Amino acid sequence: MNAALLALIVFVTFALGYRFYASYLSTRIFALGDDDPVPSREFEDGIDFVPTRKDVLWGHHFTSIAGAAPIVGPAIAVIWGWLPALLWVTIGTVFMGAVHDFGALAISLRHKGSSIGEVAGQVISPRVRTLFLFIVSALIWIVLAVFAFIIATLFTSYPGAIFPINVQIVIAVALGWAVYRRGIPILGPSLVGYALLIAAVFFGNAFVDLVPWITTITVTQWVVILLVYSFIASVLPVWLLLQPRDYLNAHQLITGLTLLTLGLIVAQPVLVAPMINPNPEGAPPMLPFLFITIACGAISGFHGLVSSGTTSKQVGCASDAKPIGYGGMLGEGSLGLLAVLASTAGFATFSEWQVHYGSWGAANGLSAKLSAFVNGGASFVAALGIPVEVASTFIATMVIAFAATSLDTGARIQRLVISELAEAYDFEPLKNRYAAGAAGIAAALLLAVTQAGGHGGLILWPLFGTTNQLVAGVTLLVISVWLRRQGKPVVFTLVPMILVSTATIIAMLGEVIGYFSNWNEQWLLAISASLILILDVWVIAEGLKVLAEARGPAAEPEAA
């Protein structure tokens, strides 16, 4: 099967979804208008609530939700064949993920920029608010550990990416200072900064030759370094690092997507992976784990946390929620699509593909799956005449930059969630943003270094996926209850909620059993997964009860 033709079909589907489905949701379901009040202007504080231009915020939101998950998930899931992964990315993005992200952003705008956990407390009950915040905190806890592992793994596999990643951080801080302290328009300086980043990619391997000891840093040591960095990033003003770096990442992502797409068109590669591979050695069953392994490339609870946790506090105009929320998820779906194709058509032969996918743990597990995307994507880019070594460094830098963005955003969201819980229980020490941020990072470090002998990798990924999808299901349920009370149809959010929650609860039950069977190495995962599952079922039960009793505004006593 020709990979370029498949890409064209999916891109057309995404365009039609945005043109018709997103427009219907924006005007008829969420009723967002240009003149609606927005939290960023009502509560502007220069730290979290910052009115931001649509194009700048789109870049921040897109790269925050993208991270490395829409690359890692599909790169793992193609072990079951390219067709199931491709179908889930396409259908999930248009009808589930984009609706989830858009809905979470819209409902947060209607609730003063509150996180989805806070909104759950107002829409369902205060008890659900607390339970949901604990689930959200657990998800971010896992996100921080997982993405630190991903970056650490790529740093050790592709040390040439270390130099450009650090250059990007310096450029981002300088860009944030120039834009917000000197009033310089962002586009010009960001393009200059991006040119410097691209130049740094070409010098990445030369830097390793100059500083060879950097290759001796282990994965675990990188995890510690990265989590310390993410704490620093989480307490800085959002305009100083997150926004400008995400804007740079948007340039990088657009460049990467463009190069990969052009490479597809020029190379016209054929998918060498099987269409369906139902029983690969050592892998969990395709159903329901396909829907768990590909989370962020189709639907992701983490996106709702970004939409309501940081993005809603920066939206300058309510109608911007459509291109940012729904459009941002289509961008992520595009990345997921290219990850599927790079991991199935980026190899010359089926035998080469089997080196990475002969079994679940083939060629060192997570490292091999990440390499499948990096090397496969590099083969597409090389078709444009770019040296393979440079192309590999660029692709690796792109993946690491997105994963680092998820670290930054996740650490900030964790700080906000811990502070919200501290406020709810009047626990003064954790109301401080430095203490809350440090507590979140310390917990992530504990998870990263104690489980599976300190080599989480594929062990942590299924738990990330299930917890992520459980949060997505609850988010869709909260949005459904709110829509019912507004007298709006709920089918657009309730059907995805039922599908995602059912598949995820079944998968989580299987994971819990597996963790308990390997208690010595996975005791923390066993306890955590059990508590998360209990809390989620509790929240869903209460939410469905409220949904069944909810009435439209005309029937509410308050309206009378």
Q: How far apart are CA 30 and CA 24, in angstroms?
A: 9
Token pair in block for residue 421: 């819980």
pLDDT tens profile 468-477:
999 999 999 9
Burial code (b: 16+ CB inside 10 Å, e: under 16) for 254-272 equals: eebbebbbebbeebebebb
User: Would you say 399 and 374 are in contact if contact means Cβ atoms under 8 Å apart?
Assistant: yes
* CA nearest to 339, candidates 36, 63, 78: 78
pLDDT tens profile 482-495:
999 999 999 999 99
| Phi, psi dihedral angles at 302 (to 5 degrees) | -60, -35
Contact partners, residue 157, CB within 8 Å, separation at least 6: 367, 370, 371, 374, 396
Neighbouring CB atoms inside 10 A of 181's CB total 10
Contact partners, residue 93, CB within 8 Å, separation at least 6: 14, 17, 297, 298, 299, 329, 330, 332, 333, 336
Contact partners, residue 379, CB within 8 Å, separation at least 6: 263, 267, 269, 342, 346, 347, 388, 391
Q: How far apart are CA 226 and CA 408, in angstroms?
A: 10
Neighbouring CB atoms inside 10 A of 556's CB total 12
pLDDT tens profile 58-117:
877 887 787 778 888 898 899 999 999 999 999 999 999 999 999 999 999 999 998 888
Contact partners, residue 257, CB within 8 Å, separation at least 6: 331, 334, 335, 338
Distances 328 to 59, 105, 229 between C-alpha atoms, Å: 8, 11, 26
pTM here is 0.85
Q: How far apart are CA 157 and CA 161, in angstroms?
A: 9
Neighbouring CB atoms inside 10 A of 431's CB total 15
Mean pLDDT on 433-443: 91
* CA nearest to 124, candidates 558, 486, 540: 540
Q: How far apart are CA 115 and CA 298, in angstroms?
A: 22
* Residue listed under structure tokens 């649509």: 54
User: Would you say 70 and 253 are in contact if contact means Cβ atoms under 8 Å apart?
Assistant: no
Q: Is the pLDDT of residue 5 over 50?
A: yes
Q: How far apart are CA 194 and CA 161, in angstroms?
A: 15
Q: How far apart are CA 92 and CA 94, in angstroms?
A: 6
DSSP state of 306: H
pLDDT tens profile 278-314:
888 888 899 999 999 998 889 999 899 889 978 999 9
CATH of region 3-555 = 1.20.1740.10
* CA nearest to 338, candidates 14, 6, 61: 6
Kindly indicate the confidence band of residue 325, based on its pLDDT and cuts at 50, 70 and 90: very high
Kindly indicate the confidence band of residue 555, based on its pLDDT and cuts at 50, 70 and 90: very low
Q: Provide the pLDDT for residue 263.
A: 93
User: Would you say 482 and 107 are in contact if contact means Cβ atoms under 8 Å apart?
Assistant: yes
Q: Provide the pLDDT for residue 461.
A: 78
Q: Provide the pLDDT for residue 560.
A: 29
Q: How far apart are CA 301 and CA 124, in angstroms?
A: 18
Neighbouring CB atoms inside 10 A of 95's CB total 18
Mean pLDDT on 348-369: 79
Task: Return the domain boundaries, the chain.
Answer: 3-555
Average confidence score pLDDT of the chain: 88
Burial level of 559, CB count in 10 A (0-12/13-18/19+)?
exposed
User: Would you say 449 and 220 are in contact if contact means Cβ atoms under 8 Å apart?
Assistant: yes
Find residue 359's DSSP bridge partners: 281
Contact partners, residue 462, CB within 8 Å, separation at least 6: 284, 289, 292, 293, 507, 511
Q: Provide the pLDDT for residue 369.
A: 77
Tell me which H or E stretch contains 110. Answer: none
Q: How far apart are CA 430 and CA 419, in angstroms?
A: 6
Q: What is the dihedral of CA 311, 317, 319, 325, to 10 degrees?
A: -10
Contact partners, residue 545, CB within 8 Å, separation at least 6: none
H-state helical runs in 272-349: 286-293, 301-309, 321, 327-345
* Residue listed under structure tokens 């035998």: 351
